[in-house]
Structure 1
Amino acid sequence: MASKAQNSFLTFEKHDEVGVIWMDLPGEEWNKISIDTEAQFREVMQQIEANTELKASVLISRKKGFMAGADIEKFLQMKPGESKATAQAGHAMLRDLEDSKKPCVAAIHGACMGGGLEISLACAGRVASNHSSTMMALPEVKLGLLPGLGGTYRLPKLVGVQNALSIILTGRNVYAFPALKMGLVDELVFQPKLLDAAIKLARKLAAGQFRRKIKVPLASKILESNPLTRGIIFSQATKMMLRQTNGNYPAPYKILEAVKYGLSHTREQAAEKETELFDQLLQSPEAFQLINIFFAMNALRKNPMKELARPVKTLGVLGAGLMGEGIAEVTVQNGTDILLKDLQEPALAQAKKNIWLVLMKKVKTRAITKADAETIINKVHTTTTYEGFHKADVIIEAVFEDINIKHKVLKETEATLRKDCVFASNTSALPITKIAEASSRPETVIGMHYFSPVPKMPLLEIVVTGKTADWVTATALEVGVKQGKTCIVVKDGPGFYTTRILAPFINEALLLMQEGADPLQMDKAMKKFGFPVGPITLIDEVGIDVGAHINKGDLEAFFNKRGAKSSNLLNKLAEAGFKGRKNRKGFLQYDEKTGKKLRGKVNEEALRFIESRGSKTFTDSEIQDRLSLIMINEAVYCLQDGILKEPRDGDIGAVFGLGFPPFLGGPFRYSDSEGAKTIVDKMAQLEKEIGSRFKPADLLVELAEKGKKFY
């Protein structure tokens, strides 16, 4: 027997003395919690309470995941204070669920995120499938928020304070087996057995036959139970947050406040505190920017040209270095066959071994089985020839950044490929149009600019020329989406988008050093601004030789035409054998054995290459203005020149490709929040004091004059 609520989000079935509540939000890919769904939850729970034949219930989903969480779009539409009433209603609903005399069990398969996990925490028990897609998280911190339905006080009591903080402060995913180990779920079963197992646990709970085993280690339990020693945990967490965020993100501090409060107050008081802090964060500028990034990122993880994309069963990768190996790793895990070619057998063997080690880490955490890992690795076929490349649907070339080498590889490859095979070049600066000049079918040539390390960096910059066919763009996008990348499509030009806006940023840092700026101060100032690393550390990490190579030719000539003042410091250092961190010879000092950066140590030998170095001192704000504004202005030029289709792509590219501070929203949203006039006035002053490289882009001036915004 089944009955449905008004809009069929919840379907109720009776299984003997257990009521099964199926969640299936109409017209949506995921279940979400909102004002409407809260009302239906309460209605169904009241039906269960009133039914004398029922002793327990199970909450389960008909979708591929349990629940995605709250409907953030609806929260954004609320006026200050409105979210408070909504959250209070949600807390009341979950208190009813938690206090029910008829225990409810959450049956979890797939993603159980945010409000979805908080609903499950209010249940009397949790059974999860041991499938690799099953994961639990409280990701609100990534949106500049905190869990708003009891997560800050229910999770610590279930899994311990330290486990809870590691989940809430990072927003990380907890997969099925680690969730069982820490006590976040009570039982794991194969997916087909999920409902039966949940019903069985519900009956045990109703009969008083289930007793939960607390899995918090004894030492942690002792540390967390005493208010004095517990204070040490919060003190250390606060220090860690300050180091990681430089105080730019308010959410982690509010989370710590909520968790600490919840441990020493009643459930009702903790709920009131959590609601108050959630409402404060929702109105913050940081949350506004982070939520907009979240929506933009989700949009760019879909392929708007999917109907034009051609199937990709086999993908060839040319070059088994760090980039080629990374591209192969993220592609093979979605079921695609890989042809990995290199001139050297040892490089191929090492690349395949490294991919296997990554898979074995997943086996160790039980994210996949060993049989899964073996199936995946057997799809990586290594070769020193072009044998079998006629099967490839897409080729991604990841060889050295040299136009002559790329031309040679392209000509060799085309001789063995089908005419409908896409040829993609992984290059950070060489114009795709120039690379395509060596092709007999330039319409199939495209750029796919990955960022290092490929498995960790979320962005993929797809570069199209005037001749690139739409189906080729669509196919490259589909490859990127399946690799789990956030994809932006940009037009070809010197440095495309990301490298083009990074180049003046790095160049300005070098010019600042030439004027006398302290490299360590520059790094600290830009970390305070919100970048993950400063420009000097970045140069050393990327490689002085790589930076010098990229800056030569097209990019340097392009900027010089606009009156830029180019520093030749990287070229001189590269010629002298300075490569940065990789050979322990950079602007900073490194431990010879470990390669770790020595804190607060500048390599004076590198600074000696700066000719006629000045002695000027700078404030942090002067450094921040010069470095941030020159990058922002170049981003506007890219939009003005048609390299970017829209500001959203520029913001996502800068945030996920270059580490532009997420809480500032990206170059375009930052300009909007500061005001175009403010940006233009600052740049006009810098142009007057320093030179024409700070001349604001015409588009920026136009917006300032009209009082308009990019969004």
Structure 2
Amino acid sequence: MTQTIRFDVDADGIATLTIDCPDQSMNVIGAQFLADLEAAIDRISAEDAIKGAVIASGKDSGFMAGMDLKAMEGMLLPPPGKSLDMATLFTRVFELNRVLRRLETCGKPVACAIEGICVGGGFELALACHRRVVGDNPKTQLGLPEILVGLFPGGGGSQRMPRITGVQTALMYMLQGKLFAPAEGAALKLIDEVVPAGTALEAAKTWVKANPAAFAQPWDIKGYKVPGGGSAMHPGFAQTFMGAVPMMQKEAQRNMNAPIALLSAIYEGLQLPMDRALRIESKYFAKVIAQPQSRNMVRTLFVNKQAAERGARRPADVAPSPTKKLAMLGAGMMGAGIATVSAQAGIEVVLLDRDMTSAEKGKAHVEAELQKRVSRGKMTADKMAEILARVTPVTDAADLAGCDFVIEAVFEDPAVKAEITQRVEKVLGADTIFGSNTSTLPITGLAKAWSKQENFIGVHFFSPVEKMPLVEIILGENTGATAIAKALDFVRQIKKTPIVVNDSRGFYTSRCFSTYVSEGAQMVAEGVNPALIENVGKQLGMPVGPLAVGDEVSIELAHKITVATKKALGDAYKATAADNVIEKMVVELGRLGRKNGKGYYEYPADGSAKFLWPGLSEHFPRAAQQPSAAQVRERLLYRQLIECARCYEEGVLTAPEDGDIGAIFGWGFAPWTGGPFSHMDTVGTKAVVETLDRLVLDYGDRFTPTAQLRDLAAHGTGFYSAAKKAAA
């Protein structure tokens, strides 16, 4: 046995390669695994007694998750400070392709027995086998999702998948990072056989025994043709790329390296024999991994995200405290959404509202969300009934007895929140952990309504709760370790990603997100063409333009928050032209946003597409001299960056990792950057400060660099390196 693969040969001469990477919850591809796999291939090829082989997993967690992304940078790239040699990088990148190519040309049939998750490099390993057998389990996921973390399939996936299922289908799945179930994989011809769960190994052995000569891949047999066409001269192939390129550009807005590389690798590779095609793929993969974009995205979207979900910020000395019965205060959209994900996680939910009509409406929302899953075949009717039975609508706080965790999502008014908080404490007692789902109100102030402030914490969800992955945990000045642990355990139960921040008006996400919206409104005040503002916002990589998102969140809400903030800060509040735009839209024009069908956009009653309100130019006249797209992009980007930096300097954020995760998953900050702190480190803090100083002269003090940022720039260091040094 090697370190990662157990090699056994049965009486029929069939070798079983059981992958079991030590000290890993899931099998991953690392340097040791590749060495062990090559040693196993040597034995399969050399020993006449071995008639074929089956590759399986020794872990209950699944078959294989793919490349060890935590170790990938160390495996492929030189140490910090050392120059990057592309020839060396190519050789290292090509190692996976070289070994997998040896596997599929070893001269013996090799089958893959998949039970559970098989994605990324794990699925590329499966594609290099001569037969793929999968145990039928509803939790099994297959596919190549690398594009979602700034990479693309670099272990032959970009070449083998289109040769099996056709270019158009392969592009659709790889460009979206779309995973699929066993039956779907069989329909795509990517899976050869689906068998009952737990029987894949025996089925794979049976095939190998019955097919001793089935050791050639289709693309290695003379006369093979790519399904649907694989030649540049084939009309279907040309048409596919004519559509794929503009569609990709629309989605990625020319910000992402990996989709462009993927399209190039497929287009060029399919014109060549497999050995040459794999070198083409590795060439493009090396180009992608050499750029900081992929490393930033892997760090934030995979490594740090996983660390957060596994409890990186959880107090280690507090015993696990899963929620069994949740008191959900408020059955509106947020409360009902939280009830939905909680019930799905197996938690009993008592859904409280002021009257039974409102409480029942909240449960109806839960039912509607579950029904969507049933209609899509993702849930059975029986399972839906089981989940729905966990939600109990009530109107009397006394019915909350027995709940071990509280989440409040009532109207954003301190007095309203204080009243319900005190009422609930009389029933549950102050030892129960109380979480407030406020988006802007300081937790320290709200905690005064709970007699044990150490048990009060902010638990900020994002709308729609069912889809948004982030939960922002906010610590008040007196929040204790038990409350932090309870909140993080709950977030883990409902399978969301948490960040932990300290108290502040607007906290981290709401505060920084609002700068994107307000900068858009500021430009409207200055007479910038609204279409320019919106298009550049999307080109930056944001989900929608700042005016569109202002409508979605509600211009009226922005006005209420502004009024409340002015009242709280008094003379310290610094008014902006954006405030005037918002006030005029709400107070004078009655344009509240999408909620009343009119905001920066018009929302036709017939349901047709929204469009920018023509009256904007009447009430906010266009400037004769319009800025360039680059100038608008810079303002929208750097206004967010500096607010993130302020949150870090003020201690609202305690780690750049939380800042990057919160930005991307909380308000959709351009994913191609890896997050605001990754982006500032990549651009260089010195260059960031220089740009901000210029923006201050052009647009005002809101762009003023922080003292901390200037200090980092002066020392030529970044946020991550400084944080790492401080922690050492």
Same fold (TM over 0.5): yes
Task: Please say if residues 462 and 487 of structure 1, whose CA atoms lie closer than 8 Å, have aligned partners that are also in contact.
Answer: yes
Question: Aligned partners of 1:354 and 1:482: how far apart in 2?
Answer: 21
Q: Read off the aligned partner of 1:422 and give its amino acid letter.
A: I
Question: Aligned partners of 2:171 and 2:554: how far apart in 1?
Answer: 36
Q: Which residue in 2 is equivalent to 1:71?
A: 68
Q: 2:190 aligns with which of 184, 195, 199?
A: 184
Deviations 1:580-605 (CA, angstroms, capped at 9, x unpaired): 1232201122232226323xxx2133
Q: 1:604 aligns with which of 609, 614, 619?
A: 614
CA deviation after TM superposition for structure 1 residue 564, in Å? 5.1
CA deviation after TM superposition for structure 1 residue 685, in Å? 2.9
Question: Aligned partners of 1:224 and 1:75: how far apart in 2?
Answer: 32
CA deviation after TM superposition for structure 1 residue 118, in Å? 0.3
CA deviation after TM superposition for structure 1 residue 524, in Å? 1.5
Q: Does 1:262 align with 2:269?
A: yes
Using structure 2 for the length normalisation, give the TM-score.
0.89
Task: Please say if residues 104 and 215 of structure 2, whose CA atoms lie closer than 8 Å, have aligned partners that are also in contact.
Answer: no
Deviations 1:515-548 (CA, angstroms, capped at 9, x unpaired): 1111111111222222222111110121111222
Question: Aligned partners of 1:126 and 1:388: how far apart in 2?
Answer: 53
Deviations 1:234-267 (CA, angstroms, capped at 9, x unpaired): 1111111111111111211211121222333211
Check 1:685–1:45 CA distance in 2 against 1; reply closer, same or farther (3 A cut).
Answer: closer
Q: Does 1:678 align with 2:687?
A: yes
Q: Which residue in 2 is equivalent to 1:302?
A: 310
SS at match of 1:416: helix
Deviations 1:382-409 (CA, angstroms, capped at 9, x unpaired): 3333354222121111222122221222
Q: Does 1:431 align with 2:442?
A: yes
Q: Which residue in 1 is equivalent to 2:112?
A: 106
CA deviation after TM superposition for structure 1 residue 362, in Å? 4.2
Q: 2:131 aligns with which of 122, 125, 131?
A: 125
Using structure 1 for the length normalisation, give the TM-score.
0.91
- Over aligned residues, Cα RMSD in angstroms? 2.7
Question: Aligned partners of 1:210 and 1:498: how far apart in 2?
Answer: 54
Task: Please say if residues 106 and 126 of structure 1, whose CA atoms lie closer than 8 Å, have aligned partners that are also in contact.
Answer: yes
Q: Does 1:115 align with 2:126?
A: no
For residues 229-378 of structure 1, the aligned pairs below 5 Å read 229-293=236-300, 294-304=302-312, 305=314, 307-308=317-318, 309-363=320-374, 367-378=378-389
Q: Which residue in 2 is equivalent to 1:217?
A: none
CA deviation after TM superposition for structure 1 residue 268, in Å? 0.8
Q: 1:635 aligns with which of 633, 641, 644?
A: 644
Q: Which residue in 2 is equivalent to 1:196?
A: 202
Question: Aligned partners of 2:11 and 2:442: how far apart in 1?
Answer: 64
Q: 1:579 aligns with which of 583, 592, 602?
A: 592
For residues 476-625 of structure 1, the aligned pairs below 5 Å read 476-554=487-565, 558=569, 561=572, 563=574, 565=576, 567-575=579-587, 576-594=589-607, 596-598=609-611, 602-606=612-616, 608-610=618-620, 615-625=624-634
CA deviation after TM superposition for structure 1 residue 211, in Å? 13
Task: Please say if residues 588 and 603 of structure 1, whose CA atoms lie closer than 8 Å, have aligned partners that are also in contact.
Answer: yes
CA deviation after TM superposition for structure 1 residue 330, in Å? 2.1
Question: Aligned partners of 1:281 and 1:555: how far apart in 2?
Answer: 47
Task: Please say if residues 109 and 213 of structure 2, whose CA atoms lie closer than 8 Å, have aligned partners that are also in contact.
Answer: no
Check 1:699–1:562 CA distance in 2 against 1; reply closer, same or farther (3 A cut).
Answer: farther
Deviates more, 1:282-291 or 1:668-677: 668-677
Question: Aligned partners of 1:626 and 1:46: how far apart in 2?
Answer: 58
Q: Read off the aligned partner of 2:614 and give its amino acid letter.
A: E
Check 1:563–1:232 CA distance in 2 against 1; reply closer, same or farther (3 A cut).
Answer: same
Question: Aligned partners of 1:15 and 1:634: how far apart in 2?
Answer: 67
SS at match of 2:393: strand
Question: Aligned partners of 1:259 and 1:209: how far apart in 2?
Answer: 24
Question: Aligned partners of 2:140 and 2:209: how far apart in 1?
Answer: 24
Task: Please say if residues 175 and 259 of structure 2, whose CA atoms lie closer than 8 Å, have aligned partners that are also in contact.
Answer: yes
Question: Aligned partners of 2:116 and 2:570: how far apart in 1?
Answer: 49
Question: Aligned partners of 2:622 and 2:411: how far apart in 1?
Answer: 34
CA deviation after TM superposition for structure 1 residue 562, in Å? 6.6
Check 1:238–1:15 CA distance in 2 against 1; reply closer, same or farther (3 A cut).
Answer: farther
Deviations 1:411-468 (CA, angstroms, capped at 9, x unpaired): 2222222443221111110111221122222222111111111122221111011111
Q: Which residue in 1 is equivalent to 2:156?
A: 150
Q: Read off the aligned partner of 2:276 and give its amino acid letter.
A: Q
Deviates more, 1:13-22 or 1:663-672: 13-22
Task: Please say if residues 109 and 214 of structure 2, whose CA atoms lie closer than 8 Å, have aligned partners that are also in contact.
Answer: no
Question: Aligned partners of 2:215 and 2:701: how far apart in 1?
Answer: 78
Task: Please say if residues 491 and 642 of structure 1, whose CA atoms lie closer than 8 Å, have aligned partners that are also in contact.
Answer: yes
Task: Please say if residues 528 and 622 of structure 2, whose CA atoms lie closer than 8 Å, have aligned partners that are also in contact.
Answer: no
SS at match of 2:287: helix
Task: Please say if residues 130 and 191 of structure 1, whose CA atoms lie closer than 8 Å, have aligned partners that are also in contact.
Answer: yes
Q: Once the two structures are aligned, what percentage of the paired residues are identical?
A: 32
Task: Please say if residues 432 and 447 of structure 1, whose CA atoms lie closer than 8 Å, have aligned partners that are also in contact.
Answer: yes
Task: Please say if residues 135 and 176 of structure 1, whose CA atoms lie closer than 8 Å, have aligned partners that are also in contact.
Answer: yes
Task: Please say if residues 145 and 174 of structure 2, whose CA atoms lie closer than 8 Å, have aligned partners that are also in contact.
Answer: yes
Question: Aligned partners of 2:422 and 2:492: how far apart in 1?
Answer: 28
SS at match of 1:19: strand
Question: Aligned partners of 1:409 and 1:312: how far apart in 2?
Answer: 21
Q: 2:21 aligns with which of 20, 25, 28?
A: 25
Question: Aligned partners of 1:692 and 1:366: how far apart in 2?
Answer: 53
Check 1:385–1:481 CA distance in 2 against 1; reply closer, same or farther (3 A cut).
Answer: same
Q: Which residue in 1 is equivalent to 2:724?
A: none
SS at match of 1:701: helix
Question: Aligned partners of 1:122 and 1:457: how far apart in 2?
Answer: 36
SS at match of 1:538: helix
SS at match of 1:532: coil
Task: Please say if residues 4 and 36 of structure 2, whose CA atoms lie closer than 8 Å, have aligned partners that are also in contact.
Answer: no
Q: 1:44 aligns with which of 40, 43, 49?
A: 40
Deviates more, 1:144-153 or 1:43-52: 43-52
SS at match of 2:542: coil
Q: Which residue in 2 is equivalent to 1:216?
A: none
Question: Aligned partners of 2:227 and 2:52: how far apart in 1?
Answer: 31
Check 1:192–1:346 CA distance in 2 against 1; reply closer, same or farther (3 A cut).
Answer: farther
Task: Please say if residues 127 and 194 of structure 1, whose CA atoms lie closer than 8 Å, have aligned partners that are also in contact.
Answer: yes
